[in-house]
Amino acid sequence: MRIGILSCGAVTPGGIGVESLDSPWPQKLVESGSRNHSYNASLVDQSLPEITRWGKEPRLRRASPIAYYMTEAASQALSAVPDIDLSRTGVIASFFLGCLVYSVRFYKQMTTEGRRFASPILFPETVFNSPVSHLVSTLGTSGPVYSQVGDKSCWANSLRTAECWMRRGNVDNVLLIGAEEFDPYQLDAFHSAGWMRGKGLVPGEGAGAILLTSKPSDQSVILAGLSDGYCYSSKSEALTAGVECLTAHPRKSKVMPTATGWVQQIESKVVGDRMLSGISHPFYEASTASAVWDTIKAARLINQGLTQDLIVPYWGLSQQFGAARLTAPSFTS
C-alpha cells in the first residue's frame, strides 16, 4: 500500500504554521516546580490569536493548553485539503505526558485543599483522551479515534496504526497529531531522570499534525518504510536497539539528525556517515510534538529537492526507538 502526506500543520515555540519550524525559537530560563533548579525552556506564546481563538469553542473553553495546540495544528492540516471526506478520516493523537498542567493542578488541589474540594471540572480534563475528544468534536471528523501514549517513539507506532487502518480499508485518510504541554514540574522530573545533565536538552512544547492518505497524488511525499519497537533498558542496549532500528531501512538512505540529550551520543555512533549534512540537531525536546516536527521538516527537505530519500529517527528518551523513511513521490528504489 502506498501512503502519502497530504498536508501538515504546526504550533511551535517559533510561532504558528509549518514555516515556524524555520524561525528562531525563543528560550527562557524557567524555575522548576520545586524551585530547586532553573533551566532553559522553549515555550509557545499562548497569547497568539491563532491559539486564543479556540477558547471561543464550547468544548475547548475549559481545556488544557495542549488541546489548543493540537486543535490549531490539526485545523491547519485539514484546511489545506478542504475536499476530503471527514467521515473517512481517522484521528490518532500521540502523547508523552499528555494533560500535564491540569493533572499537576488537580493533584495539588486535592492534596492541599482536601480531596472533597477537588474540582470536578478539572478532573475530566486530566484524562489522556480528552484533548482529542475536543478536537474531533470541534473539527468534525467521524472516523476512528485513538489516543496513544509512550515516549517520542510512540509517534512511529501511531504511524503504524494509521497504516493498519488504511490497509483494513476503514479510512482513506488519517490525521496524526503529536502534542505536548510544558509544566515547571517537568524540569524536576527531567532533572531526576538525569536528562538535564551535561549538554542537556531544552524542554519544549507545542503540536504538529500530518494528514496521511491512502490515495497519494504524484506530488505527495511517500511514507516508504517504518521501523518500530526497538526497546532498551540501558545505554548499551540503546546502542543495539538503534542499530537494529536503522538496519530495517536501506543502507544507502540518509538519516536526519533528530536526537537530543543523552541520545545524541547513541545517534552519532549508530548513524555515522549516513547523517544528512547541513542540517543541525534540534536544541529542543518536545517528545511526540518533536517527532511530528522532524517528520514535517524531512518532508519539506524532500519537497525542496534537497534529498529524495530520508530516514527520520524517533529517538525515545526513556524506552525505545522507531524510524520512518520518507521518499519523493517519483523516487523508485
Please measure the distance between the N-terminal and C-terminal CA atoms of the chain and give it in whole angstroms.
Answer: 16
Please report how close the Cβ of residue 20 comes to another protein at its closest, in angstroms: 28
Please report how close the Cβ of residue 99 comes to another protein at its closest, in angstroms: 11
Site string (288-327) toward another protein, x via CB under 8 A: ----------------------------x-xxx-x-----
Please report how close the Cβ of residue 42 comes to another protein at its closest, in angstroms: 22
SS3 47: coil
Residue 264 to residue 36: CA distance in whole angstroms: 26
SS3 320: strand
Does 243 engage in binding with another protein (CB under 8 A)? Answer: no
Asked whether 131 and 145 are in contact (CB, 8 A), the reply is: no
Residue 53 CB coordination number (10 Å): 14
Residue 212 to residue 220: CA distance in whole angstroms: 10
Does 225 engage in binding with another protein (CB under 8 A)? Answer: no
CA dist list (Å): 161 to 156, 211, 224 = 9, 13, 15
Q: How many residues bind another protein (CB under 8 A)?
A: 70
Interface residue with another protein among 49, 56, 83, 116 (CB under 8 A) is 116
Does 66 engage in binding with another protein (CB under 8 A)? Answer: no
- Scanning 19-88, the segments in alpha helix (DSSP H) are 49-52, 65-79
- In DSSP notation, 232-282 reads -SSHHHHHHHHHHHHHTS-TTSEE-----TTHHHHHHHHHGGGBPTT-PPP
Please report how close the Cβ of residue 248 comes to another protein at its closest, in angstroms: 12
User: Which parts of 178-207 interact with another protein (CB under 8 A)?
Assistant: 185, 188-189, 191-193
Query: Contact region for another protein (CB under 8 A) — 41-49, 76-84, 121-129, 260-268?
Result: 121-129
Query: Contact region for another protein (CB under 8 A) — 21-29, 81-89, 160-168, 271-279?
Result: 160-168
Query: Contact region for another protein (CB under 8 A) — 140-148, 263-271, 274-282, 302-310?
Result: 140-148
Please report how close the Cβ of residue 113 comes to another protein at its closest, in angstroms: 10
Give residue 272's region: left, alpha or beta (phi > 0; psi -120 to 50): left
Residues lying near another protein in the complex (CB under 8 A) are found at 1, 33-34, 59, 95-96, 98, 103-104, 106-108, 110-111, 114-116, 118-120, 123-130, 132-134, 136-137, 142, 144-151, 154, 156-157, 160-161, 163-169, 185, 188-189, 191-193, 228-231, 233, 316, 318-320, 322
